[in-house]
Structure 1
Amino acid sequence: MALQPFPLTATGYNLNYLPEYIALRHGFFRELGLGVTVTIPTPWDGVLDALANGSATMCLGGIWVPSMYRNRVQNYTVFAQIANRSPLALLRRTSDKTDFSLSAVAGRTVLMKSGGGASVGLFFKMLLREHGVDPRGVDYIQDLDGVMLGDLFQGGMGDYFVTDNLSAQAMVARNTEVAIAMQMVTQGDVPWSVYYRETETITPEVLDAQRRFCIGLQRGIEWVLEHDAGEDAFRAELAELFPNVPIDVVVAVTNDFRRNGMWTTTSIPRGGYERWQLGLRDARLIEEPIAYEGLVDDAPSAAAQGCKCRG
């Protein structure tokens, strides 16, 4: 049977996308008749060009993009999520022996990577507001490459560094002068990484393909949740997927994500969605929170839940 082409464009290559990589490697999409392929443009906002010119069927990235574009530039419809929590970590220096709380960030300098979009700053500043800290009382250095900022932080710049958890843990593993102050996967639900496409291009045939994609992705999520990352076969896959990070670090972060709700289902929970909308409003990306049904069509994901369908 010929596979239906299902090209995906993504804003990056990240550990929080792991269930999709597993679904691809294990043939879960192929068994459902979908030929899923992935491209990652540089710069990342080329994903919108790929949707516009038809070279991609869907985009994987932050929900803040379709939120801020809605009724301004282009309307997009979100149909699934892969990451249910923020994959970030906050680093500080080991010379700081105080018990950490977010209130300690007030009046300090925070380095934040921003190469993959605005999510890092958006989430961290929302988290500060939720904990009663005015983000305007913090100094930020965030318009530089993440590797450059990491080197500068280790060299003495700033007080804290926000980056992805995998990079943070790899840094801690090789540098005893820095430590994890907070893993943000523990800080509640948000639809961190979602799939979407232009609203006007959605047809019954598209919805059917999205449904089958969600079935395959759900199988990938379930596989990850059912297997400890330290198992030999899983560990070997992680080593192939992330060859530039020490495998013990990848295994540890994967298991932290498994335990702390990074991956749940392909459906976007309303509570996390509404929380993130408030964060986007307070960051002035949107004027008011967008109603769930105004941005999300949960039908493909809902149809996939509990479905054990194969090709």
Structure 2
Amino acid sequence: MTTFTIAATGLSMNYMPQYIAEQQGFFEEQNLNICSYLPDPWTKGLDDLENGQADVVLGGMWLPMIYSQDIQKYTSVAKIASKCPLVILSRERLTGGFDWKNLEGKRVLVSGGDGAGHYLMTVGSAREGGADPSKIRFIHDFSTSMICDLFEKGFGDFIVVQPDVAHSMIDRQVGFNFCDLTRKGSNIPWSVYYGLPETVESKLDEFEKFAVGLQKGTSYLLENGGEACRNIIKKNWPAISVDDGIKTIDMFIKEGMWRSTINIEYQEVDRWQDYLILGDVLDRKIAYEQLVDNRPYLYSKNKLSL
């Protein structure tokens, strides 16, 4: 067995294909022992890539895109999620139907300390949905725990949070569901596996085997639905009911969180770069081939006759 090490930026339900693949033994079939851990802070995962303690980081593709601007070359090898799982809550119950323009003139609290993806997805989706981002008062300078504390104590009009946090706030009537970005947001490469190009090159056989296991986990999840995740949910998210977790997974499947393959699609990369340019963290678009190494996916495609 060869150990393949993943520095994950969080524990998230949209990473379920990997968890399913581990549970079902799909990586073991490839003679891979998966070692997945949560570095603290999550940015330590980047250092672990450099010193060889991690083979890949699992997280948002916004980071390798930003760093590819003559800072540090990372290459993305597989996608695990095509939708943003976040939920936007409003302080007051809104009537009259959903409209992105409801955010205009309002304070919208978005986590900043945990990464840039939350803000970039919200601002890009709002503009794509017809709102003027310059009229939205984004607050994205604090950690998730701080924005939640601020919102619960009366600061801000909207907040962008993970589904489990949203469910808790809704249950306690702290906020009301404005929109699920899984439903209202477009397809983007929200979560991918990325690493150093030289590591991918030197360990290509391991990356290809990992892609096979991940693809089998994705296919299994799409075929069997949230019920197949019952034990995983119970173990990793004890604060929410297992049935609610299963409903979330089934909603993710219905709304296209996971595509049929782990391929990082050109159109998704192109759209995500539009959002990054709007968020002023990307100066211009980077060629797809400079960001993505498709060889692991193509290996899995051929191996599994996709």
Show structure 1 runs of 5+ residues with no match.
none
| Residue 259 in structure 1 maps to residue 254 in structure 2 | yes
Query: Please, which moves more after superposition, 162-171 or 118-127?
Result: 162-171
Which position in structure 2 is the counterpart of 1:213?
210
2: CA distance, partners of 1:84 / 1:74: 24
- Report the count of equivalent residues: 303
| AA matched with 1:15 | M
Secondary structure in 2 matching 1:305: helix
2: CA distance, partners of 1:35 / 1:235: 23
Which position in structure 1 is the counterpart of 2:178?
181
| AA matched with 1:222 | S
| Residue 268 in structure 1 maps to residue 270 in structure 2 | no
Which position in structure 2 is the counterpart of 1:227?
224
Alignment of 1:53-132 (within 5 A): 53-132=51-130
Alignment of 1:26-45 (within 5 A): 26-45=24-43
Secondary structure in 1 matching 2:126: helix
2: CA distance, partners of 1:201 / 1:242: 33
| AA matched with 1:277 | Q
Query: Please, which moves more after superposition, 278-287 or 288-297?
Result: 278-287
Using a 3 Å threshold, how does the CA distance of structure 1 residues 34 and 236 change in structure 2: closer, same or farther?
closer
Question: C-alpha displacement at 1:39, in angstroms?
Answer: 1.8
Spell out, residue by residue over 1:2-46, the C-alpha distance to the aligned partner (whole angstroms, 9 max, x if none).
x11211111111111111111112221111011110121111111
Question: C-alpha displacement at 1:224, in angstroms?
Answer: 1.2
Secondary structure in 1 matching 2:18: helix
| Residue 278 in structure 1 maps to residue 259 in structure 2 | no
Secondary structure in 2 matching 1:82: strand
| Residue 249 in structure 1 maps to residue 247 in structure 2 | no
| Contact 1:170-1:249 within 8 A present in 2 as well | no
1: CA distance, partners of 2:56 / 2:23: 19
Question: C-alpha displacement at 1:94, in angstroms?
Answer: 4.6
Identity %: 35
Question: C-alpha displacement at 1:120, in angstroms?
Answer: 0.2
| Contact 2:14-2:81 within 8 A present in 1 as well | yes
**TM value normalised by structure 1:** 0.91
2: CA distance, partners of 1:200 / 1:284: 29
Q: CA RMSD in A?
A: 1.8
**TM value normalised by structure 2:** 0.93
| AA matched with 1:206 | K
Which position in structure 1 is the counterpart of 2:288?
292
| AA matched with 1:218 | Q
| Contact 1:166-1:253 within 8 A present in 2 as well | no
1: CA distance, partners of 2:73 / 2:93: 48
2: CA distance, partners of 1:40 / 1:133: 36
Secondary structure in 2 matching 1:202: helix
| Contact 1:166-1:249 within 8 A present in 2 as well | no
| Residue 149 in structure 1 maps to residue 147 in structure 2 | yes
| Contact 1:113-1:142 within 8 A present in 2 as well | yes
